[in-house]
A and B are shown apart, each in its own frame.
Chain A
Amino acid sequence: MATERNQKENEARVKRKPLISIPAPVDSLLAGWAGLALWLLLLLLLALYPYTGVSSVALFVGSQIFVLVTLASNWNLIGGMTGYVDFGHAVFFGIGAYIMGILVTGSPLLISPEWGFWQALPASGVAAALFALLIGLPTLRLKGPYFSIAMLGTLVAMREVARVLRPITGGGVGLNLPPLLNRLGDYYLMLAVMGLVVSIIWWIQRSEFGQSLIAIREDEIGAEMRGINTTLHKIVAFMIAAFFTGTVGGFWAWQNTYIDPDVVFVEARTVEMVMMSMLGGLGTVWGPPLGAVVIYFLQDLLWGSLFGVHLVALGVLLVVIVLFMPEGILGTLGDRSSTSLGRLLSRVGRSK
């Protein structure tokens, strides 16, 4: 009884008329080659941007935004497209950061000789992807909320582990990385990573692989019965998302020059990823990047001056978005069928 009513409520909610309707569904237009062309054009403009003689602060801001876009897009691959809402994705960020920290400092463990940044960066990503393989094999078998909770558990447990493994991670004291300031280099590196990640997501979305991921999100048993190896698909998507998140984590550790368990294994970073994806439109290609930019400037303009308040606001905003705007910006403005949160909500673990 309750299920049926819920179902109807959800469907009614999803079908609710959009606030503003845009005749041509924006996202499906951009999902094609036009979208990729625009994206490459934007990348080109961003690559030329430093030549306009901007300050190093602007370059820093740029690289920060690129980091957020990359994280949001990655989270979207597993959380939005595949429908496995990962509450612990920051764990891959943390692992990437720690691998970077351990390799370039030699860590208390004394790896010698220390690695350079360029050797350590791919290692960060690979380590995160391997960890995703390890943790995904058990957790990706869990459905709906249990997966979310298990991943949150992974995050909190890894924070604990990082604190305990003092000889390797420096424990609660953390690791100090060699400070090497190169804002221009950072800018271009993250621009490249972001360009690559978003292009990959665009590519996946139109490939058979991506369509299979969406099929898994919409009906996993059906997908399996139609010959799709769901385990393999989920694991691969999870590993791709983890690889780039780990790479970004490694970069972040390098840029921040200091890591400890509480700054890299934080729930807030996961919330950030979830928020950016949801705000833009879960499961779309361009929604999460858009959401990331919006979130960055919101934080910067409204709360940046008050230390720490932005995290409170982040939590509150998450509540507000879920309650009032579950389809995100793209969904609220344009074609509802292009985003997936409403459908995920009605599908994943009906509450009774």
Chain B
Amino acid sequence: MTSDQQPLLEGHTISKYFGGLAAVNNVDFAIYRGEIVGLIGPNGSGKTTLFDCLSRLQNIDNGQVFFKGRDVTRARPYQVARMGLTRTFQSVRVYRKMTVLRNMLISHQWRDTSILRMLQPSHASTAARAHQLLDFLQIGHLADEEAGHLSGGQRRLLEIGMALMPDPDILLLDEATSGVNPTLIETIKDRIRTLNEQGKTFLLIEHNINFIADLCSRVYVLNYGEKLAEGTPQEILQNEAVIDAYFGA
């Protein structure tokens, strides 16, 4: 473990309430550069809400989030995105009426925020980068296809591509394998591993335990919005409380 370093993404006692209900309750965590960390838990345990809090789509009622050592508890979503935290969504958010390439370009448009740049069409070098990433994700041949025509798995890949466009430090993937056929799951797994070797950090929400076990060095388990356990995949799979939460009454 590299715990002596400063964490890349860190949460202190994060809480989020809906009405009186705590969707996320007092969760602490720390993710270090170069890790692949899993976030698991039964349905409704607050995983996606925690993602929304981290990517700043939801306001945090209590607690703090630090990204690269800076307090981003009150930042806007576009600000954390620009700092290098990108994400995908459980229900894929791609622009269905635009081409795959256009989708990729949109995710890159803020990179050079000068007004002169904004007044021009996307630069050729951006398109080249988009093509390169699409090829890497094995959907390069679909670049001119409307995103709405893609299969579920291809859309997931596209969304990962969109999250990669700005060259982020950490990617938050929300159920990257749900609704994806087994072959593509292997592709996704392989690409995540390659990216990780290139230095990208990942936080994954997953239901697919094998996927987690293969990729992650550490896992957090949420249940009813609270952190139930953390540890290596092997430890987690043998943890009684976790087994209870998943299979118990």
Contacts and interface: CB of A to CB of B under 8 A. Distances in A.
Asked if chains A and B are in direct contact (CB within 8 A), the reply is yes
Interface of A: 203, 206-209, 211-212, 214-215, 218-219, 221-231, 337, 343
A222 B57 contact: no
Nearest to B88: A225
Interface string B89-129: 10001111110001001110111000001111110000000
Nearest to A233: B118
B76 interface: yes
Contacts of A215: 95, 106
B81 A227 contact: yes
Contacts of B95: 215, 218-219, 222
A228 B78 contact: yes
Contact of A226 (B107, B120, B122): B107
Contact of B109 (A203, A219, A227, A343): A227
A230 B78 contact: yes
A209 B119 contact: yes
Contacts of B107: 226-227
B105 A211 contact: yes
Given A218-B95, A224-B78, A203 B106 contact: no
Q: Is the interface of B mostly helix, strand, loop or mixed?
A: loop
Contacts of A337: 97, 146
Nearest to B106: A215
A207 B119 contact: yes
A337 B98 CA distance: 9
A219 B82 CA distance: 18
Nearest to B121: A206
B242 to A, nearest CB: 30
Contacts of B109: 208, 211-212, 226-228
Contact of B118 (A209, A224, A230): A209
A228 B166 CA distance: 12
16 contacts: A208-B121, A214-B98, A215-B106, A219-B93, A221-B57, A224-B76, A225-B81, A226-B107, A226-B110, A226-B165, A227-B82, A227-B111, A228-B78, A229-B78, A230-B78, A231-B76
A221 B57 CA distance: 8
Contacts of B78: 224-230
Contact of B120 (A207, A222, A227): A207
B87 interface: yes
Interface residues of B, number: 33
Q: Which of B55, B82, B119 has the most CB of A within 10 A?
A: B119
Contacts of B7: none
A343 B86 contact: no
A211 B119 contact: no
Interface string B50-69: 00000101000000000000
A227 B110 CA distance: 6
Contacts of A203: 119
Nearest to B162: A226
B231 interface: no
B142 to A, nearest CB: 17
A225 B76 contact: no
Contact of A208 (B81, B122, B166): B122
B77 interface: yes
B98 A225 contact: no
Contacts of A206: 121
